[in-house]
């Protein structure tokens, strides 16, 4: 490397590009980090198959043994059910599901912004595999847009075919996904459970389903059957639906949406995340909360120091201690 060229570390925080060599555009730097940094870490985590799935099918299913310890699945499920009771005033009936029968919402009891309800949820935000595959789809500067939970009982309506792009008026979506969705299964997804179903390859259509497709493409949808602890990750353009639950009991799921850094998040986290929460989590947690975001503007221009902090890059392995232990990263 010549003396006048910038190393990857030197490129960080160069907000206006004044210190870059002539060819080092923003896209060049992003792809350089994606190829030489992110991909190497994804290979270390043995995620090549899941990258292929995302490319070909538009979604991937990561098994529980790659995602988390068995005990943590139980902790998360218990925490979601506590939030359910807190918000509804009703203790969930896990055995029969009678407390959640025939919900008007196709996803059951749909609880928004659960991240700050219990510290047990926090480690998931910097989970190396989840964040790695999300970053593969939506870039390093991805932001947490949603942190929700769903408790679904028997009966209720089917959630029609849709995508998670959020743009209902643009005829053709951008080539690269603008957001990525994660479902973390806290109960077994099996036949009759009311699982999610995908149309493999539909992310390549880059558009909304037509009225005819909404009705006639249902037989083409592939339901997901996977054990509790699995993570389903998909491109926001991928068509999917949710089937009604036929079995007794409850389907319990955590839902996350991440969006590219130039988009507005659906939930605001930077205004409600506390200093204590930031202090007990890795540095990228604050970036994902959009804590260093310079928009929207007030009366002042860009806060350069804040922008520098927001543009600093961290390894996927700069994660919560839970994952350092689980993946034996130290």
Location of structure tokens 């221009």: 301
Whether the predicted pLDDT of 327 surpasses 60: yes
Instruction: Give the pTM.
Output: 0.92
The pLDDT-based confidence of 18 (bands split at 50, 70, 90) is low
Whether the predicted pLDDT of 139 surpasses 60: yes
pLDDT for residue 219: 96
Q: pLDDT tens across 67-123, in order?
A: 999 999 999 999 999 999 999 999 999 999 999 998 889 999 999 999 999 999 999
- Kindly state the average pLDDT of the residues 208-215: 95
The pLDDT-based confidence of 1 (bands split at 50, 70, 90) is very low
Cβ atoms of 292 and 273 within 8 Å: the answer is: no
- Kindly state the average pLDDT of the residues 31-56: 96
Helices (H), ranges, the chain: 8-11, 26-33, 39-44, 48-56, 64-67, 70-88, 128-138, 211-216, 275-279, 283-288, 304-311, 321-326
Whether the predicted pLDDT of 21 surpasses 80: no
Query: Among 26, 282, 299, which residue's Cα sits nearest to residue 131?
Result: 282
Helices (H), ranges, 114-207: 128-138
- Kindly state the average pLDDT of the residues 58-74: 97
Q: Could you give all domains of the chain from N- to C-terminal order, each with its CATH number?
A: 47-326 (2.60.120.620)
């Amino acid at each position: 490397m010549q003396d006048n060229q910038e190393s990857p570390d030197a490129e960080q925080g160069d907000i206006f590009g004044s210190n870059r060599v002539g060819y080092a555009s923003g896209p060049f730097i992003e792809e350089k980090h994606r190829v030489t940094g992110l991909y190497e870490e994804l290979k270390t985590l043995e995620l090549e198959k899941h990258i292929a799935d995302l490319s070909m099918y538009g979604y991937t299913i990561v098994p529980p043994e790659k995602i988390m310890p068995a005990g943590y699945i139980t902790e998360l499920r218990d925490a979601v059910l506590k939030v359910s009771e807190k918000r509804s005033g009703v203790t969930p009936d896990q055995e029969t599901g009678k407390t959640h029968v025939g919900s008007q919402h196709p996803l059951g009891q749909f609880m928004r912004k659960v991240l700050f309800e219990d510290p047990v949820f926090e480690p998931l935000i910097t989970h190396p595999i989840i964040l790695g595959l999300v970053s593969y789809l939506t870039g390093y500067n991805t932001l947490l847009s949603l942190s929700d939970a769903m408790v679904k009982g028997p009966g209720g309506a089917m959630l029609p075919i849709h995508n998670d792009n959020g743009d209902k008026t643009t005829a053709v979506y951008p080539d690269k996904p603008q957001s990525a969705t994660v479902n973390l299964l806290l109960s077994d997804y099996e036949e009759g459970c009311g699982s999610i179903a995908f149309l493999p390859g539909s992310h390549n259509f880059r558009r909304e389903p037509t009225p005819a497709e909404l009705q006639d493409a249902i037989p083409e949808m592939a339901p997901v059957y996977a054990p509790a602890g699995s993570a389903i990750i998909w491109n926001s353009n991928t068509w999917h639906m949710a089937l009604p639950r036929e079995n007794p009991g409850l389907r319990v799921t955590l839902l996350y949406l991440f969006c590219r850094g130039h988009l507005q998040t659906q939930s605001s986290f930077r205004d409600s995340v506390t200093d204590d929460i930031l202090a007990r989590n890795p540095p990228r947690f604050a970036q994902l909360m959009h804590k260093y975001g310079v928009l929207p503007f007030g009366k002042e221009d860009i806060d350069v120091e804040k922008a520098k902090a927001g543009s600093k890059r961290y390894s996927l392995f700069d994660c919560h201690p839970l994952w350092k232990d689980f993946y034996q990263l130290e």
